[in-house]
Structure 1
């Protein structure tokens, strides 16, 4: 946890902003419960709700936070513990001690919380909640609010969402340091994966290296790793394939810091240690797109424009290879490039790897001046709004050759004036390439976070050749 003063200031600021907007009543932060795999006492690894973490800090089950907008004070509610809890889990801090650690002025148990919510409802005081993404949380709200299952959504407060997004979007120095700590683990993950990647290895072996690195660091993945020789499948979590000479290995992975801030890095490597000519051509295009987009990142620059810069770079490179044809601006305007770059350039990063996505992507990534497009590819852009000092974002362009999608577009004649389908078909076994880094928006521009993980062709080949040489010497 951070200091109690950090959580006090966060809650105080949220309370002040909502009060200025004329909001009254209670802000309710239900913490997450344990989630059983197959019976109650065999649960998945616990992860606290990120907004609860942001405002109250504690990462264990059975907690609820409340901010009383009218009284200007915070309550910490804990279910407490029994002797059985002590026997199975060891001695625990008291609710009073835990409330002090997050700076809450008041604390209570489940009965006190139920009575507080009941009294508020009887007095017609508003109770505000954030969007619900777990069924067990919804049922808890149904119980607390004494309402129907679907009626729980009527307590979701747009002003509450907007101000939480406003606060969580701007990262403090201590938050950026947490992301940097997560990136230290990411660096070790990729160093170890590079050493293990070779013909004859399996995707599962590489994933085991990622997980063992996380375990040794005493932390958890920020999301389920993508590790695949079939990079054209954007979120491939199936690790059953062997790696062969000539394959590309795409790894998209991240770690959490001790305070649960995320890293998110993607690299694509040649399994043999050397890119083929065709792989060099496509990799160079993606790397150029990423570097062009990153160079543009600065306060007051719309991330939509950074995405279009990457799209234009990819379209231009594919035109040079004869895959696309026509005027590059027209290619991008028509969305023809999205056959090969079908996703957005990046997203917010913080306590969630797709930060605050549970609060609603459009609240996080768009505003009154920039709204989401409905064009294929562009509609997948999670973040379009102007960047601000304090944002931490990812920049992750990619180029993929998805046979089923190419066949569909060819059959339907989609963007046929811009696509040489016969040339594109020559890449049908290529797979895909994605390169991703985490970027902090500074007052003057931007800073790429973390120790540099190899991403130039020379850097990747040099590192992989050095790793294979060490392996040979040990053998």
Structure 2
């Protein structure tokens, strides 16, 4: 028996338990989840890439089954209404197979509207999905008590989910290693992207997010996805933020490389990497994730001080906002079925919001860590003109050695990112485990 097959029944039982409680909260008898449909571009017959409803793929490893439905009534076996249309224009989804099928009653339908005869009373159902999934009386209502409960608890990954993320990581690590080789061989950003996709065995529609493949100054653009066709001369640095997916679960990995391994920029990468590992070790039960972010600012400001980029203390750089000019994003986010997983700010499973720290608007997670949570830890240092100009305008220009800034600007920036699972003891760094295994 495979690991997935052994772990899946417990995962499904946990989903059923959570759903029973969520339905009771909302006063519903049934959970109904459409897989989602294809959307067409306005004034065109070209569709957008299909993306499965996360609420659907939480239950079963189907990511390419548009027009299907998941139905769960407490006390009953879950039902999958699987759309397998008569279609000679497109590839028809294969019949469901694998270790998970025995846990579902599966009904094959040939037309979307055939689902109606198998769905329970819409008035008594929590229907979770997007408006385009509506069929007949089945318009997604997304009742807040049900959604809040399910999304809050989705932060706590089952052992099956952790294993799916490990598999995604293995695929992502393989592709990252291939991308680094391509960089060192002189490939362009677009060429590195193609090498990555080939090694991952996934294209843009399969990957969990758009690859960030940035050479030189482009590394200073946090979400750089333009991908030049010609490699710069010289190629000084390479930042890659790219993931992979496995049965609907994502990994999110970032690495930065210097072309010259003996350069001062490589030394700065090594310093950020060492600091990042210490931040990863903070992913422990009872730790406020906001504190990891605030501590990261002090740590990164210390690196800037050590390399002569700033000439004030790390504490002063943080207090005046100077550190935010070099580290302008959050330390990370939850990850799982979605790269930026849901309920990062949820105060409880009934809703509510845990505020971000003042002056840190881009942090994506503010909860206290508990066993089962998986988060990213992704500190970065960048040399971004518009943010550095703000430092001058705000009257803190004398905190920075601008000659040192000019020396590092041609390299763009640095980001190191791992996916880390919180446990009852020491954290499990899924990304580092994946690189060590490779």
* TM-score in terms of structure 1 length: 0.76
Residues 1:236 and 2:224 aligned together: yes
- Equivalent in the alignment of 2:261: 274
Paired residues for 1:348-363 under 5 Å: 348-356=334-342, 361-363=344-346
Indicate the structure with greater helix content. Answer: 1
Q: Taking structure 1 as reference, are residues 76 and 280 closer, same or farther at Cα in structure 2, changes over 3 Å only?
A: closer
- Equivalent in the alignment of 1:447: 428
Asked if the contact 1:2–1:57 (Cα under 8 Å) also holds between the matched residues in 2, the reply is: no
- Equivalent in the alignment of 2:81: 77
1:33 to 23, 31, 37: 37
Q: Secondary structure at the match of 1:352?
A: coil
Cα displacement (A) at 1:28: 3.0
Q: Tell me the distance in 2 between the aligned counterparts of 1:430 and 1:220.
A: 30
Asked if the contact 2:346–2:367 (Cα under 8 Å) also holds between the matched residues in 1, the reply is: no
Cα displacement (A) at 1:276: 1.8
Q: Taking structure 1 as reference, are residues 88 and 453 closer, same or farther at Cα in structure 2, changes over 3 Å only?
A: closer
Q: Tell me the distance in 1 between the aligned counterparts of 2:362 and 2:133.
A: 33
Cα displacement (A) at 1:30: 1.7
- Equivalent in the alignment of 1:464: none
Paired residues for 1:57-456 under 5 Å: 57-59=61-63, 60-68=65-73, 74-82=78-86, 84=87, 89=91, 92-93=94-95, 101=101, 103-104=103-104, 111=113, 113-114=115-116, 119-121=121-123, 125=124, 127-130=125-128, 137-141=130-134, 144-145=137-138, 155-198=141-184, 200-215=186-201, 220-229=206-215, 230-240=218-228, 241-245=230-234, 247-257=236-246, 259-271=247-259, 273-277=260-264, 279-356=265-342, 361-363=344-346, 370-375=354-359, 378-410=360-392, 412-413=393-394, 415-416=396-397, 418-420=399-401, 423-450=404-431
Asked if the contact 1:14–1:164 (Cα under 8 Å) also holds between the matched residues in 2, the reply is: yes
Matched length? 424
Q: Tell me the distance in 2 between the aligned counterparts of 1:422 and 1:31.
A: 55
Q: Taking structure 1 as reference, are residues 388 and 282 closer, same or farther at Cα in structure 2, changes over 3 Å only?
A: same
Structure with the greater alpha carbon radius of gyration: 1
Q: Secondary structure at the match of 2:410?
A: coil
- Kindly report the root-mean-square deviation, in angstroms, between the aligned alpha carbons of the 2 structures: 3.8
* TM-score in terms of structure 2 length: 0.82
Q: Tell me the distance in 2 between the aligned counterparts of 1:55 and 1:91.
A: 18
1:113-152 CA-to-partner distances (Å, cap 9, x unmatched) read: 546879543xxx4x4344x6xxxx3133385456xxxxx7
Cα displacement (A) at 1:203: 1.2
User: Unaligned stretches of 5+ in structure 2?
Assistant: none
Q: Tell me the distance in 1 between the aligned counterparts of 2:46 and 2:272.
A: 44
Q: Tell me the distance in 2 between the aligned counterparts of 1:63 and 1:215.
A: 25
Cα displacement (A) at 1:215: 2.3
Asked if the contact 1:341–1:397 (Cα under 8 Å) also holds between the matched residues in 2, the reply is: yes
- Equivalent in the alignment of 1:469: none
1:191-221 CA-to-partner distances (Å, cap 9, x unmatched) read: 222222237431111111101112289x942
Q: Tell me the distance in 2 between the aligned counterparts of 1:169 and 1:23.
A: 23
Cα displacement (A) at 1:250: 0.5
